[in-house]
């Protein structure tokens, strides 16, 4: 078990910057999620930690040791690949046993350890099969079992759930969480799925264009976003972002609608952030702003009302029993305790 | 005519074409098979029914033809060629497939380009060279020539198979604790095995059938089977029955190999990732 430290880590291919001078301290036993849209450098970061990609500059430390010049096999990490990277010519037993065998574990120790790992991911009855004869979810478990059969210093997981169907993903997510809290090994987990990040992580590093935008607990990332990108990326539906200005303690949209009181001095150009949850839906006249509905959607567990403010669409979340039609007028009230302001020029958060 | 009828006619037409093509291709082989069991007298008649004899197969191994020596030469030359070609080609193919080498594309194209040079053009330099260093009429000389012939082919073919092994699998093995050598031994070779076998068989066939170089570079000690066939042109004309018997001996391993290939070639071609 060990902490992982990245110091000014950079990866460039020619002119293209994959990871841009990033530093990150991953604590011992921590479950850290690298979250970001596709192509932002998450996999590259992870592959550099594993030793599969050579950094252009910067340092990687695992435990007390600088591992920049170590081969993957000498870094004592275990990795779950996005496509699992199973050995198709070996049985499931041999797949799981491979890390033990190749590291010279005594033969007598191998069988019980493989069986225990298989048990932990409920694969016991498939040990004699080849990977081809398993479903996607089962293959995913094999990859997981192969990682947990040893106790490495660090687990690395690259979108391990992304190839599963939606339902299985939810089940496996819970199993993964259970397993990770049981094993208590430092873990770096890559995903573009913010729900996975929110549910699994001790801390999340949100990345964009090879740069970490914010590092914090899921709570901090969600409730205290550092900039427009994080605010817009985290949460489903995404945080509403409305352009306007602040005058006399009120936020006013570009076309002059007074949305809410806000504890801020006067500002000319700002962006207001408000989550769908923090817009309360009332009957017409009973809220602060009467607005016609642009679209009404009912998902069963909630209803979502899209309205147009200024030049932007805004989504409010209503009660699951709420029934409205398009063009009906509703009264909306913003919760003044949960409003965010951003500077459109720097895209940074303006703390109130 | 309904669509179904048209389809049936089309199918029948295709089948007929295939049968005709097969017939044209098989006639010489059938002829050889028949001739090999005929006597010297019967062979000039197109009889389908005759008293078969095994005599020809004995005669070809006797003086003055001594096909056994040629069979031995051919076997040694083809086997040794394969035994050296496949490991060397596998190393080259793995490097081409997995490492970024300086001038990689140029090298690959040049390797392929050697195949475009007509053999007759380079056979004279070979002859002179071999004469000067004493490799004329030796099995070693033939093995070297055959290696030069099959290597480009083997490298390209094996590279194709290794390209088909997902990189993920190798990287997983490295993270799991393997050195590069262990990755190759435990992962790449077993996964590429059907491909390697296919390449080995193709190389064997090429070396086994090689004619031109053997014709020019051997005359007595290292003569191979294809050249040995020329022996059956006697003063009394072509000895078709003996020629046919020898032909069957040359072809026999091909039939066996074709059967093996049929099984592994498809496997080799469709081998791929498990996602
Ligand atoms: N070997 C490579 N050569 C050039 N560009 C690469 C290479 N590998 C990745 N990239 C680029 O680096 C960026 C980050 O890739 P990656 O880390 O895989 O993103 P993701 O966050 O989706 O995992 C992408 O734009 C990708 O195209
Ligand atoms: Mg990725």
Nearest-CA residue of chain A relative to B169? Answer: A85
- Three-class DSSP category at A76: coil
- What residue owns the CA closest to ligand 1's atom 10? A18
Rg value, chain A, Cα: 24
Mean pLDDT of B59-85: 92
DSSP state of A210: T
Per the omega criterion (within 30 degrees of 0), is the bond before A237 cis? yes
Q: What pLDDT was estimated at residue B75? A: 95
Burial of B270 (0-12, 13-18, 19+ CB in 10 A): exposed
A56 CB burial (10 A radius; 0-12, 13-18, 19+): middle
Q: How confident is the model at residue B1 (pLDDT cuts 50, 70, 90)?
A: low
Do B237 and B146 meet the contact criterion of CB atoms below 8 Å apart? Answer: no
Of A77, A84, A88, the CB nearest to B191: A88
How far apart, in whole angstroms, are the C-alpha atoms of residue B1 and residue B34? 45
Please tell me the predicted confidence (pLDDT) of residue A272. Answer: 93
**Angle at the Cα of B194 (from B189 to B197), degrees rounded to 5?**
90
User: Is the shortest distance between the CB of A15 and ligand 1 below 6 Å?
Assistant: no
B100 vs A33, residue with greater confidence: A33
Ligand 2 centroid from CA A186, angstroms: 20
Query: What is the C-alpha to C-alpha distance for residues A190 and A158, in angstroms, rounded to an integer?
Result: 5
Q: For residue B182, how many C-alpha atoms fall within 13 Å in the half-sphere facing its CB?
A: 17
Q: Which atom of ligand 1 is least distant from the CA of A19?
A: 14
**A212 Cβ below 6 A of ligand 1:** no
The helix (H) or strand (E) run that includes residue A332 is strand A329-334
Tens digits of residue pLDDT in B103-123: 888 999 998 888 888 888 889
Mutate to test the interface with B, among A43, A51, A87 (most CBs of B within 10 A): A87
Record: contact A86-B274, CB cut-off 8 A:
yes
pLDDT at B265: 63
pLDDT-derived band of residue B63, with 50, 70 and 90 as boundaries?
confident
CA distance A245 to B201: 78
Distances, alpha carbon A223 to alpha carbons A47, A203, A234, in Å:
30, 14, 10
Of all residues in chain B, what percent carry a pLDDT higher than 90?
A: 56
Query: Does position B133 have pLDDT exceeding 70, yes or no?
Result: yes
DSSP chain B: --HHHHHHHHHHHHHHHHHHHHHHHHHHHHHHHHHHTS-TTGGGS--SS----SHHHHHTTSTTT-HHHHHHHHHHHHHHHHHHHHHHHHHHHHHHHHS--TTHHHHHHHHHHGGGS-HHHHHHHHHHHHHHHT-TT-HHHHHHHHHHHHHHHHHHHHHHHHHTS-HHHHHHHHHTT--HHHHIIIIIHHHHHHHHHHHHHHHHHHHHH--HHHHHH-SSTT--HHHHGGGGEETTEE-HHHHHHHHHHHHHHHHHHHHHHHHHHHHHHH-----
CB B112 within 8 A of CB B103: no
Q: Does residue A169's CB lie within 6 angstroms of at least one atom of ligand 1?
A: no
pLDDT at B255: 86
pTM score above 0.90: no
Share of chain B above pLDDT 70, in %: 95
Q: Which of A116, A115, A165 is nearest to A140 (CA)?
A: A165
* One CATH from 3.30.450.20, 1.10.220.10, 2.30.31.20, 1.10.3720.10 for B65-274: 1.10.3720.10
Tell me the C-alpha to C-alpha distance, in Å, between residue A111 and each of A85, A103, A170, B174: 22, 15, 31, 22
Does B168 lie at the interface with A, CB-CB under 8 angstroms? Answer: yes
Contact B186 A146 (CB under 8 A): no
Q: What is the pLDDT of residue A90?
A: 95
- Residue B166 to residues A144, A148, A316, B98, B122: CA-CA distances in angstroms? 19, 23, 46, 11, 40
Distances, alpha carbon B275 to alpha carbons A132, B80, B166, B167, B268, in Å: 9, 38, 10, 12, 18
Residues on chain A touching B186 (C-beta within 8 angstroms): 98, 102
In order of A98, B81, B150, B193, the CA distances from B86 in angstroms are 27, 8, 9, 11
- Residue-wise pLDDT tens for chain A (352 aa)? 689 999 999 999 999 999 999 999 999 999 999 999 999 999 999 999 999 999 999 999 999 999 999 999 999 999 999 999 999 999 999 999 999 999 999 999 999 999 999 998 889 999 999 999 999 889 999 999 999 999 999 999 999 998 888 888 898 899 899 999 999 999 999 999 999 999 999 999 999 999 999 999 999 999 999 999 999 999 888 999 999 999 988 999 888 888 888 888 899 999 999 999 999 999 988 888 899 999 999 999 999 999 988 778 999 999 999 899 999 999 999 998 999 999 999 999 998 8
Confidence (pLDDT) at B273? 37
Cβ-contact B246, B74 below 8 angstroms: no
Tokens (6 digits) for A252 = 């006013």
Residue nearest to atom 27 of ligand 1 (CA): A39
Closest of A52, A186, A62 to residue B175, by C-alpha: A52
pLDDT at B268 over 80: no
Complex confidence, ipTM: 0.85
C-alpha distances in angstroms, A90 versus A96, A98, A122, A131, B188?
A: 9, 9, 19, 8, 12
Q: Do B190 and A51 touch (CB under 8 A)?
A: no
A27-62 tens-digit pLDDT: 999 999 999 999 999 999 999 999 999 999 999 999
What pLDDT score does B116 carry? 86
Per the prediction, chain B carries an average pLDDT of: 88
Radius of gyration of chain B (CA): 24
* Higher-pLDDT residue of B273, B257: B257
* CA nearest to A96 within chain B: B176
Give me the residues paired with residue A157 across strands.
A80, A189
Q: Is A198 helix (H, G, I), strand (E, B) or coil?
A: helix
- Distance between CA atoms of A274 and A260, rounded to whole angstroms? 11
Q: Name the residue in chain A with its Cα closest to that of B187.
A: A87
Task: Walk me through the domains of chain A, giving residue ranges and CATH numbers.
Answer: 4-233 (3.40.50.300), 240-350 (2.40.50.140)
pLDDT tens readout for residues A159-197: 999 888 888 889 889 989 999 999 999 999 999 999 999
Boundaries of every domain in chain B: 3-36, 65-274
> What DSSP assignment string belongs to A165-182?
-HHHHHHHHHHHHHHHHH
What does the alpha-carbon distance between residue A198 and residue A218 come to, in Å, rounded to a whole number?
5
Q: In the prediction, which pLDDT does B267 show? A: 60
């Amino acid at each position: 078990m060990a902490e992982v430290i990245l110091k000014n880590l950079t990866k460039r291919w020619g002119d293209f910057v994959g990871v841009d001078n990033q530093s990150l301290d991953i604590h011992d036993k921590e479950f850290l999620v690298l979250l970001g849209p596709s192509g932002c450098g998450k996999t590259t970061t992870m592959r550099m930690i594993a030793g599969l990609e050579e950094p252009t500059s910067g340092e990687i430390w695992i435990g007390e040791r600088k591992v920049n010049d170590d081969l993957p096999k000498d870094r004592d990490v275990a990795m779950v690949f996005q496509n699992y990277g199973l050995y198709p010519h070996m049985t499931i037993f041999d797949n799981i046993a491979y890390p033990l065998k190749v590291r010279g574990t005594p033969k007598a120790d191998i069988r019980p350890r493989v069986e225990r790992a298989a048990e932990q991911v409920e694969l016991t009855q498939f040990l004699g099969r080849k990977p081809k004869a398993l479903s996607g979810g089962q293959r995913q478990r094999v990859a997981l079992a192969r990682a947990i059969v040893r106790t490495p210093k660090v687990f690395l997981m690259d979108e391990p759930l992304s190839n599963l169907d939606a339902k299985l993903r939810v089940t496996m997510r819970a199993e993964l969480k259970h397993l990770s809290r049981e094993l208590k090994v430092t873990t770096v987990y890559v995903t573009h799925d913010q729900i996975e990040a929110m549910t699994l992580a001790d801390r999340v590093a949100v990345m964009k264009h090879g740069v970490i935008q914010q590092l914090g607990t899921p709570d901090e990332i969600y409730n205290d976003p550092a900039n427009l990108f994080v605010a817009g990326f985290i949460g489903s539906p995404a945080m509403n972002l409305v352009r306007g200005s602040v005058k006399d303690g009120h936020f006013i949209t570009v076309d002059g609608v007074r949305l809410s009181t806000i504890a801020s001095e006067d500002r000319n150009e700002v962006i207001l952030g408000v989550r769908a949850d923090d817009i309360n839906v009332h009957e017409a006249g009973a809220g602060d702003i009467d607005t016609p509905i642009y679209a009404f959607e009912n998902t069963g567990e909630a209803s979502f009302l899209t309205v147009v403010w200024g030049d932007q669409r805004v989504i409010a979340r209503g009660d699951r029993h709420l029934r409205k039609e398009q063009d009906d007028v509703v009264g909306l009230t913003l919760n003044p305790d949960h409003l965010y302001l951003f500077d459109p020029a720097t895209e940074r958060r303006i703390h109130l | 005519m309904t669509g179904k009828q048209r389809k049936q006619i089309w199918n029948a037409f295709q089948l007929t074409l295939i049968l005709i093509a097969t017939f044209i291709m098989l006639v010489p082989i059938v002829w050889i098979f028949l001739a090999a069991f005929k006597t010297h007298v019967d062979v000039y008649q197109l009889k389908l029914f005759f008293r078969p004899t095994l005599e020809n197969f004995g005669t070809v191994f006797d003086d003055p033809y001594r096909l056994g020596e040629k069979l031995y030469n051919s076997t040694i030359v083809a086997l040794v060629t394969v035994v050296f070609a496949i490991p060397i080609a596998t190393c080259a193919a793995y490097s081409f497939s997995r490492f970024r080498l300086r001038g990689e594309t140029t090298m690959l194209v040049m390797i392929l380009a050697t195949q475009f040079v007509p053999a007759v053009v380079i056979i004279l330099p070979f002859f002179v060279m071999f004469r000067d260093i004493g490799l004329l009429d030796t099995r070693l000389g033939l093995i070297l020539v055959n290696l030069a012939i099959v290597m480009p082919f083997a490298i390209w073919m094996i590279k194709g198979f290794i390209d088909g092994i997902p990189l993920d699998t190798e990287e997983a093995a490295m993270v799991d604790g393997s050195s590069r050598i262990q990755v190759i031994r435990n992962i790449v070779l077993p996964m590429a095995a059907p491909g390697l076998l296919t390449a080995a068989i193709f190389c064997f066939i090429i070396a086994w059938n090689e004619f031109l170089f053997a014709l020019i570079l051997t005359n007595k000690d290292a003569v191979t089977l294809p050249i040995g066939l020329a022996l059956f042109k006697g003063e009394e004309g072509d000895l078709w029955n003996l020629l046919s018997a020898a032909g069957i001996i040359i072809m026999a391993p091909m039939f066996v190999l074709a059967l093996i290939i049929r099984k592994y070639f498809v496997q080799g071609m469709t081998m791929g990732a498990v996602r």
